[in-house]
Amino acid sequence: MLAAEKEHAAQQGTAMFFIRMAFWLGVAVMLLPTDAQQQARLYSTAVHAVERASTFCDRNARTCEMGGQAWAAFLKKAEFGARLLGDMLSSSSRQPETAALATPPRQKVSTRTDVQNTLLPTDLQPTWRGPSARSGI
């Protein structure tokens, strides 16, 4: 892909982002109430929700502490995963010829005839697929 084509594709992606953003912003505005009383109720509900969320740790110290520990463990694992992925990508792009050498050689397919035709006659018969039992007929 040429540089001009990449730039054009990036501009189209940016334009689509703004179109999507405008659409969802329009949907959000359409869902807002027009009545002053409903607007006041929505505003007070939003303020109350923000206040409750901001004081969660004050009310639930133990839960907040456990959540912080879980979040720290998650971040540690995510950092390890990102580092592992980066190492894998950088090593695979640096050494493509060693990756081919590291694969084990293919095993030979057995040509023995005594391991073939080992099914019993009962194994070869199809399972019964009769009509299902109908009640009330």
Q: How do residues 61-95 score in pLDDT, each as one tens digit?
A: 999 999 999 999 999 999 999 999 999 998 876 65
**Phi, psi dihedrals of residue 24, rounded to the nearest 5°:** -70, -35
Q: Distance between CA atoms of 33 and 41, rounded to whole angstroms?
A: 10
Give 39's contacts (C-beta < 8 A, 6+ positions apart): 32, 33
pLDDT band, very low/low/confident/very high, at 108 (cuts 50, 70, 90): low
Give the residue among 99, 77, 101 at the shortest CA–CA distance from 88.
99
CA distances from residue 53 to 58, 60, 63, 95, 109 in whole angstroms, order as listed? 10, 11, 13, 50, 64
pLDDT digits (tens, 9 = 90+) for 3-37: 777 777 777 888 899 999 999 999 999 999 999 99
Determine if the pTM surpasses 0.75: no
**Number of DSSP helices (H) and strands (E) in the chain, helices first:** 6, 0
